[in-house]
Amino acid sequence: MTIKNAMRDHGQRYRPRMACLKKVGSAVLLEMQDPKTGVKSQLQRLVITTIPHAITGEDIVAWLANKFNISAEEGRSLGTMLVALGYIYPLQDHKRLVVKPDASLYRFQTPYFWPAQQWPVEDTDYAIYLAKRNIRKKGILELYEQEQYNHLHKWMNHKWDFIVMQAKEQYRAGKERKKPDRAVFDCQERAYWVVHRPPPGTVSGMDYGLDRLIDPNAEEVTETDLIFLTFLWLPSLSCFLPRVKSSVSIGALVKFVTTHKNHDPFLAQCLPSNPWVTDDVSYWTLNMANVEIPTKMRVERWTFSFVELLEDPRGRDDFRFFLKKEFSGENLAFWEGCEDLKWGAAAGMSEKAQHIYKTFLARGAPRWINIDGTTMEATVRGLKHPHRYVLDAAQTHIFMLMKKDSYGRYLKSQVFKDTTKNAINPEEQKFTDAQLDQNARNRRPSLSPIAIRQMELEQKAKLAASGPVDITQVMSKLSKQGKDAPPPPPPKK
C-alpha cells in the first residue's frame, strides 16, 4: 500500500459492517438494474431535456418484494437500506435517504461512487467537492458544509492550493460534457457526499463502529494458528481455568432470562415507546436517576435481587430512606464510602480511608458499623497502609448483612409498599408517520455527562450536609440531655 495509507492506517483498515457492501453491490444491485428483468425505468422530464433511467419508489419496493418473496414493508426497508448505503439516490428531496413507496424518482448510482470497504472516503475529495460547489455558485454551501470547509482549510492547509486548483480543473473538465450528463454527474456526486458526509441531525448508513485489526472477509484461522492453539496454548491455560458444571451455569442463565425477559426492551415492549425507534425520549425521562416517581417495571426489578436495588440510583435512594426510618443508615453509608474509595481518584485516597475509619470503624465513632472482630482487626491493620481495596472485606461483610437482613425487611416495609403503589405504568404510545417525522426533526442531544456528574456531586453534598441520624447519635444525645428534660423526639430531617 502507499505511504499515504500506511501513515494513517495503523493496520485498522477493516471496517466490519462494511463487509456487507460487496454482497449488496454485486448481488442485488446488478440484478435490479438489468433492463430486462430489473426495475422498470422511465424518463425523468426536466425543463429543457429528458434524462433516462429513472425509477420510481413504488417500482423498487414491488421488485424487491417480488424477487425476495417478502412483504411490502420489508421490501421498503430493504430499499431504504440500499438508498442509505448510497447505491440508489433520490432525485427529489435528496437529503432524505429513504425509499418512498410512491411515484418519487430514484436513479442508480454509478459504480465509481459506490461505497467500498477497502477505500475509506477521503477528506481531500470532500474539500475538492465543496470548493467545486462554491465555484459553481458562490455562497451556496450550507452552514454545516461551511463549517466543514473551514475545518478542512485549517487542517489540510498545506494542500489547499492543490485543492483549489484541482476543483477548478474538475469543474472545467466537467463543462466539456453535455448538459444532461453534467446534471446527472452533479446529482451523483452530491448524492455520494450526502451518504458519506451526512447533514447534521440525520442518521448515517455508514456508521460502522470501531475499526478492526483483521479482515472479516479473510480466512479465519490458519493452520499454524490451529497447531499453536491446540498443542501449546490451551493445555497450559486449562490448568488455571476455573471450572463450573455446565448444568449450574446454564441454570443460572435460564433463571436470569426468565426473570428479566419482560424487562428487556428487545424481547418485550418498551413503554411508552422505544426511543431508538420512535425518537421519543419519554422512556428515558421517566427512568432518569433522580426521578420522583419510578415506573412499575423499575420497581419490579428491585425485587429481583439486592444488587439490582443498589445499582439503580432511585432504588438506592428508596432503600436509604427506609434505612433512615430504621436508624440503620450507617451500613449503606459505609458501603457507599467503600465504593467511592474503590472507584474514586487516587489523589485523596488516604484521606478518604481515614475519614471512613473515623466515621464508621473507630471505637465510639458517630456511625459505628457492626462487623465481627477478625474483619475489624484485619481492616484496621490494613488501614496503616491504605490502598483501594483495603476495606474490601468489611464491605463484603456489610453487604451480606444488608442483603440478608435489611433487604428482606425493606421489601416488606411500608416504604416499599408506598413506592409500589405510587409507581406509574406508562401507556404504550403509537405514533403516526407524520409524528415520527416531527420527532426525528426535534431530536436534541441529551444532558452532557459533565452536567450529570455535577448534579450527582451536588446531591451527594446535600446528603452529607443533612447528615442522617443514626441510633448511636440519638442515644448519645439522649444521654447528654440527662433526665432533666423529657427525651426529645428523634430529629426529623
CB hemisphere CA count around 460 (13 angstroms)? 11
Answer yes or no whether residue 199 interacts with another protein by CB under 8 A. Answer: no
**Which residue, 187 or 371, has its beta carbon nearer to another protein?**
187
Q: How far is the CB of 217 from another protein (least distance, A)?
A: 14
Answer yes or no whether residue 136 interacts with another protein by CB under 8 A. Answer: yes
Q: How far is the CB of 380 from another protein (least distance, A)?
A: 58
The rounded distance, in Å, linking the Cα atoms of 278 and 442 is 11
Q: How far is the CB of 104 from another protein (least distance, A)?
A: 11
Residue 314 near residue 289 (C-beta atoms within 8 A): yes
Q: Which of 74, 186, 308, 336 binds another protein (CB under 8 A)?
A: 186
Please provide residue 108's backbone torsions phi and psi, each rounded to the nearest 5 degrees. Answer: -75, 140
195 contacts: CB under 8 Å, gap ≥ 6? 84, 85, 86, 89, 97, 115, 204, 205, 206
Residue 284 near residue 277 (C-beta atoms within 8 A): no
Element holding 26 (H helix, E strand): none
CB hemisphere CA count around 253 (13 angstroms)? 7
Answer yes or no whether residue 380 interacts with another protein by CB under 8 A. Answer: no
Answer yes or no whether residue 188 interacts with another protein by CB under 8 A. Answer: yes
Q: How far is the CB of 450 from another protein (least distance, A)?
A: 32
**Which residue, 17 or 22, has its beta carbon nearer to another protein?**
22
User: Is the Cα dihedral 34, 38, 42, 46 positive or negative?
Assistant: negative
Residue 55 near residue 75 (C-beta atoms within 8 A): no
Please provide residue 150's backbone torsions phi and psi, each rounded to the nearest 5 degrees. Answer: -65, -40
Answer yes or no whether residue 167 interacts with another protein by CB under 8 A. Answer: yes
Q: Which of 176, 207, 372, 427 binds another protein (CB under 8 A)?
A: 176
Query: The cell 446528603 sits on which residue?
Result: 463
Amino acid present at 158? H
Answer yes or no whether residue 151 interacts with another protein by CB under 8 A. Answer: no
DSSP state letters, 324-336: HHHT-HHHHHHHH
**Which residue, 12 or 110, has its beta carbon nearer to another protein?**
110
The strand ranges marked E within 57-168 are 88-90, 105-108
Site for another protein in 87-126 (CB under 8 A): 91-94, 107-113, 116, 118-119, 122, 124-125
Answer yes or no whether residue 387 interacts with another protein by CB under 8 A. Answer: no
Q: Which of 20, 24, 51, 424 binds another protein (CB under 8 A)?
A: 51
Q: How far is CA 462 from CA 174, 264, 370, in A?
A: 67, 34, 26
Answer yes or no whether residue 166 interacts with another protein by CB under 8 A. Answer: yes
Q: Which of 135, 288, 291, 365 binds another protein (CB under 8 A)?
A: 135
Q: Which of 10, 23, 178, 363 binds another protein (CB under 8 A)?
A: 178
Site for another protein in 54-83 (CB under 8 A): 54
Element holding 4 (H helix, E strand): helix 3-9
Q: How far is the CB of 64 from another protein (least distance, A)?
A: 17
The rounded distance, in Å, linking the Cα atoms of 443 and 65 is 32
Q: How far is the CB of 34 from another protein (least distance, A)?
A: 7
Q: Which of 40, 182, 381, 453 binds another protein (CB under 8 A)?
A: 182
Query: The cell 492547509 sits on which residue?
Result: 157
Q: How far is the CB of 188 from another protein (least distance, A)?
A: 7
Site for another protein in 8-37 (CB under 8 A): 25-26, 29-30, 33-35
Answer yes or no whether residue 41 interacts with another protein by CB under 8 A. Answer: yes
Answer yes or no whether residue 281 interacts with another protein by CB under 8 A. Answer: no
